[in-house]
């Protein structure tokens, strides 16, 4: 199968590229090679073309004979302030729109899209009588160290999030991922094309960008430990997440490329083993040899309390089950190499 892979030199894209080539697929690999993601002056790896997918007509010759596009190129992370909005909109939203238009011109009708758990916003919470509709947490509760969502003066427990949960973005990055999904959904309806949107949960593994506030929390903790600093854990460290290893992310993409699912299909891609942020920091610190993490009690704008996936649909329709549990993968990650970056946002 001939696959156009965007973001092919990035953290996730490089793992997908290796897996596709190992599986006998022909890969047309492109990456913009922004310094924020790859470091200043970085050259594309052998076999990767330096291409800006936003350039009008630039993808047309590369899409000839392509069976499916695997779209990983994106500015990632929660965003540091509202001044990041143009970067997210320009790269993620506009870049996806240009790509979809080029696919229609080329007659390429299949897209595997890198999406994210962030589209769900606050996630799901269960009260005594079932799922409770919640909004953001109250400022006075957070200031007093009450971090859980509350209903009738009782703390709510998280519930696993299925794919039919409505999108409620809480960050600029989340808004851009929702927009990507919406463009892809509309494109599929207009052209008869097919889109599999893989909603990644917290991805980690070798080759993550280091020393950037836009990186995933596992890399932020790992960068601190490499510099001899204790990981700084927000709130009380009891926030629940799902951490999924990058090799499992690559396997899910390859499964989606080979499965050819019809229509628009969103799928949670996760390990199925929830873990708290505090436990992640402790595991990494112990495996790295310290220093121990610090629970700061601080709150970061845009953060959600809990977001944990339901992995059932990906297992049913793709046959995908993550192979690396966080308990094992995080220990290995404690000594895994990270990639240097320049200051600023990270391109996937």
One digit per residue, pLDDT tens: the chain, 348 residues?
999 999 999 999 999 999 999 999 999 999 999 877 787 788 999 999 999 999 989 999 999 999 999 999 998 876 557 888 898 999 999 999 999 999 999 999 999 999 999 999 999 999 988 999 888 898 999 999 999 999 888 899 999 999 999 999 988 999 999 999 999 999 999 999 999 999 999 999 999 988 776 678 999 999 999 999 999 999 999 999 999 999 999 999 999 999 999 999 999 999 999 999 999 999 999 999 999 999 999 998 778 999 999 999 999 999 999 999 999 999 999 999 988 765 444 434
DSSP 171-214: SHHHHHHHHHHHHHHHHHHHH--EEEEEEE-EEE-TT-B-S-TT
Is 14 exposed, middle or buried (CB count within 10 Å of its CB: 0-12, 13-18, 19+)?
buried
Q: Which residue has the tokens 């610190």?
A: 285
The pLDDT score that the predictor gives to residue 346 is 46
Instruction: Give pTM, 2 decimals.
Output: 0.95
The pLDDT score that the predictor gives to residue 213 is 63
33 φψ region: left (φ > 0), alpha (ψ -120 to 50), beta (else): left
Write out pLDDT tens, residues 201-258: 999 999 998 877 667 899 999 999 999 999 999 999 999 999 999 999 999 999 999 9
Beta strand 232-233 with 240-241 is unpaired
- CA dist 75 and 70 (Å) reads 16
Q: Any idea how long the chain is?
A: 348
Under DSSP, the state recorded for 148 is S
The secondary structure element, H or E, covering residue 327 is helix 326-333
> Is residue 71 within 8 Å of 108, Cβ to Cβ?
no
- CA dist 135 and 75 (Å) reads 26
Max alpha carbon distance in the chain (Å)? 60
Under DSSP, the state recorded for 108 is -
SS3 of residue 295 by DSSP = strand
Q: Which residue has the tokens 């009738």?
A: 152
């Amino acid at each position: 199968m001939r696959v156009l892979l965007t973001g092919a030199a990035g953290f996730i894209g490089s793992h997908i590229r290796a897996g596709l080539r190992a599986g006998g697929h022909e890969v047309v690999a492109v990456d913009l090679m922004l310094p924020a993601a790859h470091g200043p002056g970085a050259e594309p790896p052998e076999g990767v073309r330096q291409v800006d997918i936003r350039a009008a007509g630039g993808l047309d010759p590369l899409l000839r004979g392509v069976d499916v596009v695997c779209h990983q190129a994106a500015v990632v992370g929660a965003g540091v302030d509202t001044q990041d909005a143009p970067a997210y909109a320009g790269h993620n939203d506009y870049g996806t729109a240009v790509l979809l238009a080029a696919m229609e011109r080329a007659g390429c009708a299949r897209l595997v899209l890198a999406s994210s758990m962030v589209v769900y916003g606050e996630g799901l919470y269960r009260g005594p009588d079932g799922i409770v509709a919640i909004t953001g947490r109250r400022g006075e509760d957070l200031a007093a160290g009450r971090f859980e969502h509350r209903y009738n003066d009782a703390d709510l427990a998280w519930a696993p999030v299925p794919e039919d949960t409505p999108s409620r973005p809480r960050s600029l990055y989340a808004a851009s991922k929702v927009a990507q999904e919406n463009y892809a959904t509309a494109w599929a309806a207009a052209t008869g094309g097919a889109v599999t949107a893989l909603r990644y949960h917290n991805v980690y593994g070798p080759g993550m960008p280091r020393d950037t506030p836009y990186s995933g929390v596992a890399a932020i903790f790992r960068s601190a430990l490499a510099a001899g600093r204790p990981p700084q854990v927000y709130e009380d460290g009891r926030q629940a997440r799902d951490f999924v290893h990058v090799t499992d992310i690559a396997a899910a993409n390859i499964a989606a490329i080979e499965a050819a699912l019809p229509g628009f299909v969103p799928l949670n891609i996760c390990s199925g083993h929830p873990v708290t942020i505090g436990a992640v920091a402790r595991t990494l610190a112990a495996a790295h040899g310290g220093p121990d993490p610090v629970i700061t009690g601080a709150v970061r704008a845009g953060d959600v309390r809990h977001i944990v996936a339901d992995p059932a649909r990906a297992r049913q329709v793709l046959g995908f089950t993550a192979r690396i549990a966080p308990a094992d993968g995080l220990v290995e990650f404690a000594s895994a190499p990270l990639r240097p970056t320049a200051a600023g946002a990270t391109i996937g």
